[in-house]
Structure 1
Amino acid sequence: MDLNLRKAILSNIESNDQKQLEATIVEAIQNGEEKMLPGLGVLFELIWKQSDEQDKQEMINALEQGVKQETTG
Structure 2
Amino acid sequence: MAAFYYVSKQADYADHHVVHAADCRFLPDSNDRQFLGTFYAPNDAIHQAQKYFPNAVGCATCCPLPMRRHVVEN
Tell me if both proteins adopt one fold, taking TM over 0.5 as the criterion. no
Q: Which of the pair has more CA radius of gyration? A: 1
TM-score by length of 2: 0.28
**Which has the larger share of strand?**
2
* Larger RCO: 1 or 2 (CA < 8 Å, sep 6+): 2
TM-score by length of 1: 0.28
**Which has the larger share of helix?**
1
